[in-house]
């Protein structure tokens, strides 16, 4: 008879049993990619405002265009992967394009160049994301989906943590003014970000295996923008996602909020490290929890947590408080990100998942542009929000998160189920 320690070990082995090697290869790929991306992307808003002297509206414009580009491309690439019945090639292509764009940040001397690099980087993300997520969902059984996506998200956030740590070390070694990012420091970080980006492409290309869609299902794949054959609850979830995302502006505004409340550049990096540590630790368990209690409950909890945290960002009067709330922000990501991706797989047949993930990403991306533009304008005192200043985008985002959560609780369950997998 097994003692308590042996039972714990057996349960742990059982939990991870049945996970295909693709789960681990895709997680390592995302880990390396996020090392590269988070080294440099988190410094871009500080570079734009501190080195190039741009206003927050320009930051919002760049981030909005970048994320919208990624999301629109996800629709196309997801549908193409469904029709081809193959996912890996598009994923490798997308990671490769993002890697090739990063060196050009070294030469950035205007916001237009930054926009071009962010456009190319997000275009690559758009090409890879839907096929990668479809590949991941088809590499595990339905009772392990939450765990698989949770592990993948944990790899993302662990890579982000290490990337920010490396960037913070470079900042510490090269900065003379602790409050304003220098152009030289930004260039050094841009150079360092290239290595893990190209390693990620190599590992994915050599290590992942294709998981094809059966021929009869491949032919049945829907056109790119078609909702035909998709569960009504999935379509309703898209509507709720749009409502939420309209208030979910780029995290660049949280970075700027921390600096505005008095954090130095190194302290901003510490804030980002705290967020990714929380996210990394909780993402896997939260994904596994969604397998047991249901995805919808975790999504609602995630949106409610987001609303409360954004209220905290709005009301904080010190950099320390912003740091604390940004750490708690990792709880929202852990609850929502993996559960939402697994929830889509639960609602959509395997042969349409590339299209479904693409449509979901398009809903997020098309809303991301106005969301970030609105945030930038609210920060500068748009209309009736003039008296709220930098608090305004966070009050707006918190309110919409609450609306989306309430609709998820009271409206979505009334939608009849179709094509449930």
From first to last of its 421 residues, what are the pLDDT tens digits of the chain? 445 444 444 444 445 566 778 889 999 999 999 999 989 988 998 899 888 888 877 887 888 788 777 767 877 787 787 777 788 889 999 999 999 999 999 999 899 999 999 999 989 988 888 788 888 888 887 777 777 877 887 788 789 889 989 999 999 999 888 888 898 999 999 999 999 999 999 999 998 888 766 554 444 444 455 666 677 888 888 899 999 999 998 888 999 899 899 999 899 989 989 998 888 788 778 777 877 877 888 899 999 999 999 999 999 999 999 999 999 998 888 888 778 888 888 888 777 777 787 788 778 878 877 888 888 888 876 655 565 678 889 999 999 999 999 999 888 765 555 544 4
Q: What are the pLDDT digits (tens) for 223-282?
A: 455 666 677 888 888 899 999 999 998 888 999 899 899 999 899 989 989 998 888 788
Give CA–CA dist 364/333, Å, rounded: 15
Count of CB atoms within 10 A of residue 1's CB?
4
Count of CB atoms within 10 A of residue 173's CB?
9
Give CA–CA dist 380/375, Å, rounded: 9
SS3 state at 352: helix
pTM exceeds 0.85 for this model: no
Positive or negative: CA dihedral 77, 118, 97, 336: negative
Phi, psi for residue 228 in degrees, rounded to 5: -60, 130
Give CA–CA dist 75/363, Å, rounded: 9
Q: Work out the mean pLDDT of the chain and round it to a whole number.
A: 83
Give CA–CA dist 191/125, Å, rounded: 20
Q: Taking CA 235 as the corner, what is the angle to CA 231 and CA 241, rounded to the nearest 5 degrees?
A: 140
How many residues comprise the chain?
Answer: 421
Listed in sequence order, the residues at least 6 apart from 260 whose beta carbon sits closer than 8 Å to its beta carbon are: 390
Fill in the DSSP letter of residue 416: P
Please, what's the b/e burial string for 151-165 (b: 16 or more CB within 10 A of its CB; e: otherwise)?
A: bbbbbbbbbbbbbbb
SS3 state at 221: coil
Domains of the chain: 19-414 (1.20.1250.20)
Q: What are the pLDDT digits (tens) for 43-77?
A: 998 899 888 888 877 887 888 788 777 767 877 78
* CB 41, CB 92: distance < 8 Å: no
Please, what's the b/e burial string for 194-206 (b: 16 or more CB within 10 A of its CB; e: otherwise)?
A: bebbbbbbebbbe
Please, what's the b/e burial string for 17-51 (b: 16 or more CB within 10 A of its CB; e: otherwise)?
A: eebbebbbbbbbbbbbbbbbbbbbbbbbbbbbbbb
* CB 31, CB 156: distance < 8 Å: yes
């Amino acid at each position: 008879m097994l003692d308590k320690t042996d039972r714990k070990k057996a349960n742990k082995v059982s939990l991870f049993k049945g996970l295909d090697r693709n789960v681990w290869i895709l997680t390592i790929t995302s880990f390396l990619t996020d090392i590269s991306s988070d080294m440099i992307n988190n410094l871009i808003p500080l570079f734009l405002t501190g080195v190039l002297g741009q206003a927050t509206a320009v930051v919002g414009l760049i981030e909005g265009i970048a994320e919208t580009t990624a999301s629109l491309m996800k629709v196309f690439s997801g549908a193409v992967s469904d029709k081809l019945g193959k996912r890996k090639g598009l994923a490798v292509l997308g990671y490769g394009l993002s890697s090739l764009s990063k060196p050009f940040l070294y030469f950035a001397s205007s916001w237009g160049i930054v926009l071009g690099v962010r456009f190319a980087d997000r275009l690559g993300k758009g090409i890879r994301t839907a096929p990668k997520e479809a590949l991941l969902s088809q590499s595990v059984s339905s009772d392990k989906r939450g765990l698989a996506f949770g592990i993948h998200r944990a790899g993302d956030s662990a890579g982000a943590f290490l990337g920010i740590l490396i960037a913070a070390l470079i900042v510490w070694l090269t900065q003379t003014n602790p409050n304003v990012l220098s152009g030289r420091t930004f260039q050094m970080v841009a150079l360092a970000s290239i290595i893990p980006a190209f390693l990620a492409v190599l590992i994915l290309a050599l290590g992942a295996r294709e998981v094809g869609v059966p021929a009869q299902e491949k032919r049945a794949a829907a056109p790119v923008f078609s909702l035909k054959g998709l569960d009504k609850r999935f379509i309703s979830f898209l509507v709720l996602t749009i409502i939420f995302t309209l208030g979910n502006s780029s995290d660049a505004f949280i970075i700027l909020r921390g600096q505005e409340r008095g954090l130095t550049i190194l302290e901003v990096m510490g804030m980002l490290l705290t967020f990714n540590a929380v996210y990394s630790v909780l993402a896997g368990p939260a994904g596994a929890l969604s397998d047991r209690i249901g995805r919808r409950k975790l999504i609602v909890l995630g949106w409610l947590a987001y609303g409360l945290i954004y209220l905290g960002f709005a009301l904080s009067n010190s950099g320390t408080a912003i740091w604390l709330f940004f750490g708690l922000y990792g709880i929202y990501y852990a609850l929502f990100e993996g559960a939402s991706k697994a929830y889509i797989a639960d609602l959509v047949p395997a042969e349409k998942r590339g299209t479904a993930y693409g449509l979901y990403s398009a809903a997020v991306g098309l809303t991301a542009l106005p969301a970030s533009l609105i945030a930038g304008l609210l920060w500068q005192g748009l209309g009736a929000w003039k008296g709220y200043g930098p608090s305004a985008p966070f009050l707006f985002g918190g309110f919409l998160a609450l609306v989306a959560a309430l609709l998820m609780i009271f409206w979505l369950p009334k939608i009849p189920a179709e094509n449930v997998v």
